Chains A and B, each alone.
Chain A
Amino acid sequence: MDPIAALLILVCVIVGGLLASLGVHMIPVGGAPAAMGTATGIATGTVQLMFGAALTGLFTASTVATFFETPSPLALVLVALSGAVGAMLMLSFTMLFANMLYVFGAGVVPVSGRVEVDPITKEPQTPYKTPQTDGHGVPNVSYISGWIGAFLGGFGGALMYFVLKNYAFPASLFAELGAADAEMVSAAAAGIAAAGIFVANAILSAYNIGGTIEGFHDPKFKRLPKALISCAVVSALCGLCIIIATWGLSGGGGV
C-alpha cells in the first residue's frame, strides 16, 4: 500500500487523538455533584459528553464527506470543520439550556467554584455562590471553554473519519458490492473505527482529570501535557493497527 497514505493515516489519527484529549480537558464537566448544584459544569460524565458531541459532529461530517469523491486538502478541511461546528453546536445548546434549568428551575446563579473572578467577563463569582458548594451552573468562562473544547474535539473526530474513510477503507476496495453499498461499508467502517479511537483517547484524558473539570481556568488543566503524551502514544498504536488492517484488506502488497 501507498506509504504516503499510511503516513497520512498515522499522523491524522495522532492529531485526532490529541485534539480529542484537548477537547476533553476544556469542556466543563461537573459529574454527579453538578446534577445537585454542588459543582460547576455540566451534569454528566466527561467521556459520554465528549463522545456525544463528537458523534453529532461526525454525523454532519459524514454527510459533507459525500460531497467530495476524491480527497483533497480542501475537502479534508471542510469535512473536519463541519464536524467541529456540529459538535460545538451540540454542546452550546446543551450548556445554554442547562443554564436555563439552573437559573429558572433551581434558582441559582451560574458561578464558578475555582476562581474568584471570571477571567473573561471579570464578573465576581464568590458573592453569588452557595456556601459549602463548589459552584453551580455553567458560568461564561466555562461556556467559552466548552465551546472551544467541543470545536476541537469535533474537529479531531471528523478528521479521523475523513482520513479513515478515504485512505484506510476506501470504497474502491469493496467495489464488488456496487457503488452505493460500497460507500455504506466504507462509511460504517470508518465511522466505527474513528469512534473507537476517539473514545479511547477521551477515556484516558478523563482519567487524567479525575472525572470533573471546570474548563481551561481550572488548576487541573495544567495536567494536560501528561494526557497528551499518553494519548499520542496510544493513538499511534491504534493508527498502526488501522494501517495493518488496510494493508491486509488490500491483499498485502508491498508497503
Chain B
Amino acid sequence: MTVPTAPVEEEEAKPKKGWPPTETGLGIIAVILGIIMTILPFLPSFVKAIGLTFVLVWGADSVRKTSRYGLGTGVPSIGVLAVGYGVIGAIAGMGIANVGGDFTIGGVEVLNVGVLGGVALAALIGYISGIFSNSEKFISMKIPGLERGMTELGVAGTLAFLLESSMVAGTLKLSAVLEDVFFSGAIAFMFILSALAMFHPFNACLGPDEDRGRTLLVSFEISGLICIILGIVSIALRGSQSLGLADAVGLILYGIVVWVVFYAKFVRRAFEGAYEVVGTGLIKTVK
C-alpha cells in the first residue's frame, strides 16, 4: 500500500471549509478569539470555552511544529514548558489588571485589558528562552522556528490559564481567582490538563504517517474534556463569584458536545488511516 508523502498531502488535503487552516492562520484565529474572550470576563462560560478550544488547538499545533524536527528530549517537555510560563504570565497579568486596566459596571467585570500585559510578558519569556535554546553559544538545539514556537507556547499557555480561570471564577480579579481557583486546587488540574491538551495530540499520533488534520482533532476533544470537568468544578463554586448554575451547566453541555463530535471524527479517521482494521489476526515479520 503506498502512502503519499506527508508534507505535500497536508497542505492539499482540505476536506471542507479550508480545514485545517495553515499554521499562521490558526495562530491568528486563536490569538484573536483568545484575546477577545479574555478581555471580556462577563461572557458566559461556554462562549469563553470556544476561545479556550482554539487556544489549546493552536498550542498543540505549535508543539507539533516544533517537535517535528526532533526535539530529542521528548514532546511532553515543551508542553509542560508552555504551562509553566503560562501560569507565571497569568498571575502577573492578573496582578497588572488589579492595578489598572480593569473596568467594572455594577459589580460585574466587563473589560479587563490589564491581563494582556501578562500575555506579553510570557511571550517575552518564551522568546528569550527560545533564543537561549537555539543560539550556538548556549544550548544550541538548532531547531528551526524554536524561538517562534516557544513564544507561541508562552502566549498559548497564558491565554489558556486566563480563560480557564475566568470560566471557573467568572471574573479575572486576582483576589477572586486566587480564592476560587487556587484555594480549590483547580489550578493543579488546569496546569496538567492544559499541558496534556497541548502535547498529547502530537505524542499520540507520532509516526511517519502522522496527519495534521487528524492530530488536531485530538486537541479539540481534550478541550471538550477540560470543559466538562471545569463545569463540574464551577458547580461547586457557584456560591462565590461565578455566574450561576446555568452557566456551569452550559459549559458542561458544550464540553460534552465538543467531545462527542471530535472524538467520533478522530476515531473514524484513525480507522481509515490505519493500514488495516481487523477483528483479530496473526502477525508477520516484514523484511
Contacts and interface: CB of A to CB of B under 8 A. Distances in A.
Direct contact of A and B (CB under 8 A): yes
Interface of A: 45-48, 169, 173-174, 177, 181, 184-185, 188-189, 192-193, 195-197, 199-200, 203-204, 206-208, 210-211, 226-227, 229-230, 233-234, 237-238, 240-242, 244-249, 251-252
Given A177-B179, A203-B80, A203-B81, A192 B87 contact: yes
Q: Which 5 A-B pairs have the closest CB atoms?
A: A248-B95, A252-B99, A245-B95, A241-B92, A211-B73
B83 interface: yes
B84 A199 contact: yes
A163 to B, nearest CB: 15
Contact of A234 (B74, B129, B187): B129
Contacts of B97: 248
Interface string B93-125: 011111110000000000000000110011011
A249 B174 contact: yes
B78 interface: yes
Interface of B: 72-74, 76-78, 80-81, 83-89, 91-92, 94-100, 117-118, 121-122, 124-125, 128-129, 132-133, 137-139, 141, 174-175, 178-179, 182-183, 185, 187-188, 191
16 contacts: A47-B77, A181-B183, A200-B85, A203-B78, A204-B133, A207-B77, A207-B133, A230-B133, A241-B91, A244-B117, A245-B91, A248-B92, A248-B94, A249-B178, A252-B98, A252-B99
A206 B129 contact: no
A184 B92 contact: no
A185 B88 contact: no
A230 B132 contact: yes
Contacts of B175: 173-174, 249
B182 A203 contact: no
B73 A206 contact: yes
B73 A45 contact: yes
Given A246-B95, A248-B97, A184 B183 contact: yes
Given A193-B91, A211-B73, A251 B99 contact: yes
A166 to B, nearest CB: 16
Contacts of A229: 132, 138
A229 B124 CA distance: 17
Given A45-B76, A241-B88, A241-B92, A185 B182 contact: yes
B188 A192 contact: yes
